[in-house]
Structure 1
Amino acid sequence: MKVEKWITSKEKFALLSKGSGKLKDFTFQNIDFTTEKIDWSNFIICSTTLLGCKLKEEDEIHLLRKGALILPDYNELPFNPYREHLYTWQELEAISTNEKSLDLNIYEHFYETRYSPSINDSLWQRIHDHAIDTSLRHLLTPLRNGDYKKKIVGFMGGHGTLRTDPYYTKTAFTAKAISEYGYFVASGGGPGIMEATNLGAYFSGRSDKELQKAIEMLSIAPHFTDEGFMEISKEVIQLFPEGQESLAIPTWFYGHEPSNVFASHIAKYFSNSIREDTLLAICLHGIIYAPGSAGTTQEIFMDAAQNHYGTFGYVSPMVFLGKERYEMNTMLFPVLKQLAKGKAYQKMLFLTDDPEQAIQFIEKNPPKKIK
């Protein structure tokens, strides 16, 4: 039986204390040990790490002498770099004592030095993003073969796509349907096509009429800069509570864009490059590309590079939802077909205007392991 070596509560530590006493490769996180009477000399300390834990002075000295790595509690930061879980929109939108949301407070703190952070600022940000990595793995449950227990399908497309745009509706209904097929839907977590993705997954299992009603409500404030954009989103949540799960992976680098409220799990990063690479890497069961601009084009070629070189041990479907955009206006699909010639992912490329065809292509083309 595999022993969990990430300990985040006193209860788990108490169970551990009854065992062999070997703490090799164990990590303890956010635990207040100051109220506990612990004889640390009873434990074998080896590659043992304590993140943000509170310790009595004598215990800290003992553990340091035994070779433990201790990273101190954080001070004067609007975020917890040692967090144990992914975010929820409720947590990010919660109002702090300064009458600003947690999300806004973190963004403003980050924005001050995002181009030239101090050594300490960049260290705290990296530790935070490492914690997000860990929480994301726990959510998705990696398997030994390199896949995940959850079958993840991602959606990419324009962040500025209006809620009144036909592709917003088409994306939402595609995400709803593919979620109902048993896939776990992921997006970049922002507005536009990203919001449509998480909205559709949220309405998985509900009627199409209810999703259409939600889109009509949201259309009152079509763009994320419009007054009432977030408020109407929350009204949809209130009218249709208890939606299905999905994943959003946004970044504070684009903090002026609000994280959408329709994702149940939000893996928000400081590093945009890590965020983008992670989102593409986990979507082993495919990515559906709705029309987008430069950012979407970048993601297409990042995804193609992962497929071209089998970076993560698999080739995965790349489905393009929009013939006019990807075949006529930009020629991106023909370019990719030429690039993939003779490669394993050549047959994983598909262009359509029909959401049902997009879903069926993903169903018939599971990720292929590179030998």
Structure 2
Amino acid sequence: MRELDSLEAFLKQKGQLHCAVVQGLDFTDVEINWDRLDFQGAVFLGCHFPVEVTADFLLNKGAVIFPNFPSLPYNPYRNRLYSREELMKGWTKQQDRSLDKMIYDHFVQKGKSKADILESLAQRLHDHAIDDGVRDLLGGRIEEGGKKKVVGVMGGHTTGRDSESYAKVVRVARSLSRKGFFVASGGGPGIMEAANLGAWMVDASDEMVDQVLDLLKSTPHFALDGYQKAALSVLDLIPKGGSSLSVPTWFYGHEPSNLFSTHIAKYFSNSIREDGLLSIATHGVIYAPGSAGTTQEIFMDATQNHYLTYDEISPMVFLGKQRYIEDTMLYPCLKQLAEGREYGDYLFCTDEIDEVVSFIETHPPKRG
């Protein structure tokens, strides 16, 4: 089925909408001769129509209509990913009245994962729309350059901006972006912010990176006053940056979404978000030091490689020998699990930035 998520794409069909999916469009001020359109098998997801175009008219023409839900602060049928500007709209240094906060408050009020059937349905439709937006982005429909070579970056959300791990991830992400890879993170603070920040500074000099890291050290943790203000100061310093993806969730809405990604795929369901982020990282995942959440992601990723869930093997790179060999022994454990399997050659542990980037470059995804 054809996906039509812009008025331009809709009008190009010249009325032939047979088996087309029309997503989140507003037709109220568009001049269209609706009587001449072929609606047989067309599906409309959350669209707005002129008064004269009734539901009965569309249904009699053979269309299927998914109606809008009332009183929601979010659009379940949105036809694009979020941007930083959209989610931050309404935020001030004095008070957070952003769209991001409004949606989170609504999510909590409705019971989060225990919401009633209509709210749960709206959330699932929303997350499906985000899935679709991610596919459009990574497939090359949104930006130039064709299909993206995605590298995921995982690690602790409490890692401070003043830590060595944070600085290393910034430089790793910058180097990968310069080499044509597309960085994706979990979208929150800590290591996730460092990954998107590195991609944002793809064209920045080493001196500028040092300046930015010094600026951010003043508020190392997201619970401190001035945390978002420091990030906005970086954006004032570098108003245009490189592209990257963040994949946060309102399930952890008390953590601020980081401000350095150009595309934000924010989900209600944390399980869909975590598995989805690992599945799109076809060119590998880098693991900086983290705690329980990072450990869970490591074994989810290893499972995908072990059982060839997506028919490909991709690198798993551990940035931190102390953490992953000596303190937790997670790396030796994975090496043992991978013994005799092809993905054993795609496991690597190091402390060196250049070695991380080199391993990703020399180990492209491999069909199992």
TM-score strictly above 0.5: yes
Residue of 43, 47, 56 corresponding to 1:49: 43
User: Do structure 1's residue 207 and structure 2's residue 205 form an aligned pair?
Assistant: yes
- Could you tell which deviates more after superposition, 67-76 or 328-337? 67-76
User: Do structure 1's residue 27 and structure 2's residue 22 form an aligned pair?
Assistant: yes
Residue of 5, 8, 14 corresponding to 1:8: 5
In structure 2, what is the equivalent of residue 163 of structure 1?
161
**Alpha carbons of structure 1 residues 334 and 90: separation in structure 2 relative to 1, 3 Å:** same
What secondary structure sits across from 1:185 in the alignment? strand
Aligned pairs for 1:58-69 (under 5 A) are 59-69=54-64
**Matched-pair contact (CA < 8 Å) for 1:45–1:63:** no
**Alpha carbons of structure 1 residues 75 and 366: separation in structure 2 relative to 1, 3 Å:** same
1:37, distance to aligned residue in structure 2 (A): 4.7
User: Do structure 1's residue 106 and structure 2's residue 100 form an aligned pair?
Assistant: no
- Output the CA distance in 2 between the equivalents of 1:273 and 1:248: 15
TM-score (norm 1): 0.92
- Output the CA distance in 2 between the equivalents of 1:74 and 1:244: 36
**Alpha carbons of structure 1 residues 22 and 234: separation in structure 2 relative to 1, 3 Å:** closer
Please tell me the root mean square deviation across aligned C-alpha atoms, in Å. 2.0
Residue of 308, 311, 314 corresponding to 1:313: 311
- Output the CA distance in 2 between the equivalents of 1:363 and 1:117: 44
**Alpha carbons of structure 1 residues 245 and 99: separation in structure 2 relative to 1, 3 Å:** closer
- Output the CA distance in 2 between the equivalents of 1:54 and 1:84: 13
Aligned pairs for 1:42-191 (under 5 A) are 42-46=37-41, 48-55=42-49, 56=51, 59-95=54-90, 100-112=97-109, 113-141=111-139, 149-191=147-189
Percent of matched pairs sharing the same residue: 49
- Output the CA distance in 2 between the equivalents of 1:61 and 1:120: 23
Aligned pairs for 1:246-261 (under 5 A) are 246-261=244-259
- Could you tell which deviates more after superposition, 293-302 or 86-95? 86-95
**Alpha carbons of structure 1 residues 74 and 38: separation in structure 2 relative to 1, 3 Å:** farther
- Output the CA distance in 1 between the equivalents of 2:7 and 2:36: 18
1:241, distance to aligned residue in structure 2 (A): 1.4
1:317 maps to a residue whose letter is P
1:175, distance to aligned residue in structure 2 (A): 0.9
What secondary structure sits across from 2:225 in the alignment? coil
**Matched-pair contact (CA < 8 Å) for 1:199–1:262:** yes
- Output the CA distance in 1 between the equivalents of 2:281 and 2:132: 17
- Output the CA distance in 2 between the equivalents of 1:182 and 1:15: 33
1:323 maps to a residue whose letter is K
1:65, distance to aligned residue in structure 2 (A): 3.2
Q: Deviations over 1:19-59 (max 9, x none)?
A: xx35124334323257645344641512x210111234664
- Output the CA distance in 1 between the equivalents of 2:29 and 2:234: 45
What secondary structure sits across from 1:26 in the alignment? strand
2:172 maps to a residue whose letter is T
- Output the CA distance in 2 between the equivalents of 1:171 and 1:35: 47
**Matched-pair contact (CA < 8 Å) for 2:244–2:263:** yes
Structure 2, gaps ≥5 residues long: none
- Output the CA distance in 2 between the equivalents of 1:44 and 1:273: 36
TM-score (norm 2): 0.93
- Output the CA distance in 1 between the equivalents of 2:104 and 2:136: 26
In structure 1, what is the equivalent of residue 352 of structure 2?
354
Aligned pairs for 1:209-288 (under 5 A) are 209-288=207-286
- Output the CA distance in 1 between the equivalents of 2:68 and 2:204: 44
**Matched-pair contact (CA < 8 Å) for 2:154–2:288:** yes
1:66, distance to aligned residue in structure 2 (A): 4.2
**Matched-pair contact (CA < 8 Å) for 1:8–1:31:** no
Q: How many residues align?
A: 360
Structure 1, gaps ≥5 residues long: none
